[in-house]
């Protein structure tokens, strides 16, 4: 009996071995395309029933070339690389990893916010240049007298709110889709949040309505000397407007873990501006998250194949397309 095929597209910095072993033990033939290139993915997945995706784009054009695919599992919480409308139209399942790095990203955002608040990048540069405390150009503000504003209030923002509540004097958030609000977090409209926040932290997906939302107009409504933290998606922020706000002093600092183009070019001013704190899209990174990113997509694929439903779907088709290989007599290890 032919084994079902699962293809891992691009692995980036991840070791795909643990996930490959889970899939193989469950009866799958596993291939690694090792590329985001659609030609490479299509060649590897021409007869695949499932894709495990890093950053590779999965759209109608690719799905036309992989007609047996019925399940797409991402290696991340984000799934904007998947054309979810097209997947749903074709009756495909899409699953993400909603909680594999929640703590890590929230801690990273808090660390960036506190580093900006305490002027740690400037202090570090001063000491490296031979200076000392009398040479500090700016006096940090006390965190307990500041407002942390969260744009979006999903899992990561809620974790950040819990971690930050004992440190910041006020925590507020904007999210029209949030159904409940924990004690100690104020619900504000976006304009009110922007105007109140001393630190504005972004926690929304990349969508037509959010791309470029942090533009000159929004930054112009922020308090003089405020700060922006982005651990979400690079295209939420207009880089020209951000740099202009830093140069003018409207913003005293900003922290970016994500960039419009990754990695940014060597001469990109986002790499060198003295008021920017940067990290290389690493907010998700920990030993625990790497284990989860390697294994949990495989578990989503196995659960879909053995039960008809992945563990953490983000697209649930109304009329799922059937797989072309019989399931129960070819798959082992349903409890993986």
Sign of CA dihedral 324, 327, 83, 55: negative
Q: Are strands 226-230 and 147-151 parallel, antiparallel or unpaired?
A: unpaired
**Residue 142 within a domain:** yes
Same domain, 116 and 90: no
**Residue 334 within a domain:** no
Domain that holds residue 20: 5-100+287-315
**Residue 305 within a domain:** yes
Q: What is the CATH number of the domain that holds 42?
A: 3.40.50.720
What is the structure's pLDDT at 329?
Answer: 40
| Per-residue pLDDT tens digits of the chain, which is 336 residues long | 689 999 999 987 788 999 999 999 999 999 999 999 999 999 999 999 999 999 999 999 999 999 999 999 999 888 989 999 999 999 999 999 998 999 999 999 999 999 999 999 999 999 999 999 999 888 999 999 999 999 999 999 999 999 999 999 999 999 999 988 999 999 999 999 999 999 999 999 888 999 999 999 999 999 999 999 999 999 999 999 999 999 999 999 999 999 999 999 999 999 999 999 999 999 999 999 999 999 999 999 999 999 999 999 999 998 777 654 444 444 443 333
CA dist 308 and 204 (Å) reads 30
Q: Which of 142, 145, 262, 309 is catalytic?
A: 262
Same domain, 261 and 291: no
For residue 293, the Cα-to-chain-centroid distance in whole angstroms is 12
Same domain, 73 and 220: no
Same domain, 113 and 151: yes
Same domain, 42 and 141: no
- Using a cut of 0.85, tell me whether the model's pTM lies above it: no
What is the structure's pLDDT at 323?
Answer: 55
**Residue 325 within a domain:** no
Q: Which of 90, 119, 158, 233 is catalytic?
A: 233
CA dist 261 and 264 (Å) reads 5
Contact 62, 36 (CB under 8 A): no
Same domain, 162 and 39: no
Q: Are strands 93-95 and 313-315 parallel, antiparallel or unpaired?
A: antiparallel
Same domain, 95 and 116: no
**Residue 145 within a domain:** yes
What is the structure's pLDDT at 333?
Answer: 38
Q: Which of 170, 223, 281, 311 is catalytic?
A: 281
Same domain, 74 and 16: yes
**Residue 326 within a domain:** no
Q: Structural domain tally of the chain?
A: 2
Same domain, 134 and 255: yes
What is the structure's pLDDT at 1?
Answer: 65
**Residue 323 within a domain:** no
Same domain, 213 and 304: no
**Residue 188 within a domain:** yes
Same domain, 82 and 184: no
262 is catalytic: yes
Same domain, 155 and 245: yes
């Amino acid at each position: 009996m032919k084994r079902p095929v699962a293809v891992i597209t691009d692995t980036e910095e991840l070791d795909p071995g643990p996930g490959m072993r889970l899939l193989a033990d469950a009866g799958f033939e596993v291939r690694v395309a090792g590329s985001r290139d659609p030609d490479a993915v299509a060649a590897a997945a021409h007869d695949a029933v499932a894709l495990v995706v890093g950053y590779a784009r999965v759209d109608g054009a690719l799905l036309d070339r992989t007609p047996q695919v019925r399940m797409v599992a991402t290696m991340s919480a984000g799934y904007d690389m998947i054309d979810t409308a097209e997947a749903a139209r074709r009756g495909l399942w899409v699953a993400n990893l909603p909680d594999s790095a929640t703590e890590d990203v929230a801690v990273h955002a808090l660390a960036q916010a506190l580093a900006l608040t305490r002027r740690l990048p400037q202090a570090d540069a001063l000491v490296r240049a031979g200076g000392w405390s009398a040479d500090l150009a700016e006096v940090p503000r006390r965190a307990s007298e500041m407002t942390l504003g969260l744009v979006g209030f999903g899992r990561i923002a809620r974790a950040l709110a819990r971690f930050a509540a004992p440190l910041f004097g006020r925590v507020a958030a904007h999210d029209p889709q949030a159904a409940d609000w924990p004690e100690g977090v104020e619900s504000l409209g976006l304009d009110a949040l922007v105007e109140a926040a001393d630190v504005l932290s972004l926690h929304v997906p990349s969508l037509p309505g959010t791309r470029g939302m942090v533009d000159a107009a929004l930054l112009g409504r922020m308090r003089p000397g405020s700060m922006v933290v982005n651990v979400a998606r690079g295209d939420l922020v207009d880089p020209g407007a951000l740099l202009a706000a830093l140069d003018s002093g409207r913003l005293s600092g900003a922290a970016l873990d994500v960039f419009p183009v990754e990695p940014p070019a060597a001469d990109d001013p986002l790499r060198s501006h003295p008021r920017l704190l940067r990290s290389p899209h690493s907010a998700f990174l920990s030993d625990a998250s790497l284990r989860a990113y390697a294994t949990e997509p495989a578990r989503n694929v196995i659960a879909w194949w053995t039960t008809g439903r992945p563990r953490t779907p983000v697209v649930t088709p109304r009329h799922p397309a059937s797989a072309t290989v019989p399931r129960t007599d070819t798959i082992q290890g349903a409890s993986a």
